[in-house]
């Protein structure tokens, strides 16, 4: 009975962020894991192009403004992670449907051994009734997923 149980350390952690409170908690959780495990941290956010109204989608300036805002937010997250002690941080900016994009595009590209997501996204309108992004990632990701609430 003198054996100690230890979990394998993660080498490459991917965290999904948006404007939700749960995403903030997921980010803090991922940063904590990355510091503890001395691992690489990838921070991803997905611009939901299908959530843009037709005028926003057609207006190149509006789209550019949204992209710049998201890139700035990713930069802020990266700075926060570095200041917390994460040694290497990469940011990933993707477009599409978040759960599907993370599973089909980001995970194969980044090859994390842990994905951290917030339990609920900052969704409005019909999207919030169409199923949880976290649920999609947890169900279809080929690696361990930590859902934070």
Is the residue at 3 inside a domain? no
Q: What's the pLDDT score for residue 67?
A: 87
The enclosing domain of 79 has a CATH number of 3.40.50.620
**pTM as predicted:** 0.86
pLDDT computed for residue 79 by the predictor = 98
Residue at 4 is within a domain? no
Residue 132, token pair as written in the block: 């949880």
Residue 73 falls inside a structural domain: yes
| 59 is a domain residue | yes
Range of the domain at 89: 12-148
In a domain, 83, yes or no: yes
Q: Is residue 16 part of a domain?
A: yes
Sheet of strand 89-95, all strands in order from the earlier edge strand to the far edge: 89-95, 40-47, 12-16, 114-118, 144-148
Q: Please report whether residue 5 resides in a domain.
A: no
- The answer as to whether 7 is a domain residue is no
Q: Going residue by residue through the chain (149 aa), what tens digit of pLDDT does each one get?
A: 555 556 779 999 999 998 888 999 999 999 999 999 999 999 999 988 666 566 665 677 877 888 899 999 999 999 999 999 999 999 999 988 899 999 999 999 999 999 999 987 655 543 443 457 889 999 999 999 999 98
CA–CA gap between residue 63 and residue 45 (Å, rounded): 15
What would the DSSP string read from start to end of 44-68? EEEE-GGGS-HHHHH-HHHHHHHHH
Structural domains of the chain, count: 1
What is the token pair recorded at 113? 């051994």
């Amino acid at each position: 009975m003198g054996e100690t149980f230890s979990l394998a350390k993660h080498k490459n952690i991917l965290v999904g962020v948006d404007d939700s409170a749960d995403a903030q908690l997921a980010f803090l959780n991922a940063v904590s894991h990355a510091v503890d495990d001395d691992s690489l941290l990838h921070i991803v956010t997905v611009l939901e192009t299908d959530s843009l109204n037709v005028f926003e989608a057609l207006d190149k300036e509006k789209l550019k403004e949204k992209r710049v805002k998201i890139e700035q937010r990713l930069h802020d997250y990266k700075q926060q992670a570095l200041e917390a002690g994460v040694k290497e941080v990469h940011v990933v900016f993707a477009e599409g449907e978040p759960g599907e994009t993370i599973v089909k595009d980001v995970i194969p590209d980044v090859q994390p051994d842990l994905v951290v997501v917030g339990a609920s996204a900052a969704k409005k309108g019909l999207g919030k009734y169409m199923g949880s992004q976290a649920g999609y990632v947890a169900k279809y990701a080929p690696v361990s997923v930590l859902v934070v609430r």
